[in-house]
Amino acid sequence: MEKYAVFGNPIAQSKSPQIHLAFAAQFGIKLEYQKHLVEIGAFEQAINNLKENGGKGCNVTAPFKGDAFSMANQLSERAQLAEAVNTLTLCADGSILGDNTDGPGLVIDLENQNAPIKGKRILLIGAGGAARGVIKPLLQCEPEQLVICNRTYSKAQALVEKFSIYGPIKAIEAEQLSQDGYDLVINSSSSSLTNELPPVPACIFNANTFAYDMSYKAIDTTFVSWAKEQGCVTVIDGLGMLVGQAAESFYVWHGKRPNITPVLEELRAQLTAN
Number of domains in the chain: 2
pLDDT tens, residue by residue, 30-78 = 999 999 999 999 999 999 999 999 999 999 998 999 999 999 999 999 9
Residues 128 and 226 in one domain: yes
pLDDT tens, residue by residue, 215-260 = 998 899 999 999 999 999 999 999 999 999 999 999 999 999 999 9
* 229 burial via Cβ count (<10 Å: 0-12, 13-18, 19+): exposed
In sequence order, what DSSP letters do the residues of 180-220 get, joined into one string?
Answer: T--SEEEE-SSGGGGT---S--GGG--TT-EEEES---SS-
Q: Distance between alpha carbon 224 and the CA centroid of its chain, in Å? A: 17
Question: Is there a domain that residue 261 lies in?
Answer: no
Domain boundary among 58, 81, 100: 100
Q: Average pLDDT in the 110-121 region?
A: 96
Residues 19 and 139 in one domain: no
Residues 109 and 233 in one domain: yes
Convert 87-122 to b/e letters by CB count within 10 Å (16 or more is b): bbbbeeeeebbbbbbbbbbbbbbbeeeebbbeebbb
Residues 120 and 95 in one domain: no
Catalytic residue among 35, 56, 65, 136: 65
Residues 109 and 225 in one domain: yes
Identity of the residue numbered 8: G
Residue pair 215/189 in contact by the 8 Å Cβ criterion: no
Question: Is there a domain that residue 51 lies in?
Answer: yes
Residues 75 and 161 in one domain: no
Question: Is there a domain that residue 41 lies in?
Answer: yes
Say how far apart CA 220 and CA 252 lie, in whole Å. 31
Find the CATH number of the domain harbouring 205: 3.40.50.720
Query: How far is residue 213 from each of residues 35, 68, 105, measured CA to CA in Å?
Result: 25, 25, 13
- At 190, the pLDDT band (50, 70, 90 cuts) reads confident
pLDDT at 129 (0 to 100): 84
Find the CATH number of the domain harbouring 89: 3.40.50.10860
Residues 65 and 45 in one domain: yes
Question: Is there a domain that residue 109 lies in?
Answer: yes
Residues 204 and 234 in one domain: yes
Instruction: Indicate the pTM of the whole model.
Output: 0.93
Domain that holds residue 58: 2-100
Residues 153 and 166 in one domain: yes
Residues 96 and 107 in one domain: no
Phi, psi of 125 (to 5 degrees): -95, 125
Residues 88 and 191 in one domain: no
Please indicate whether residue 228 is annotated as part of the active site: no
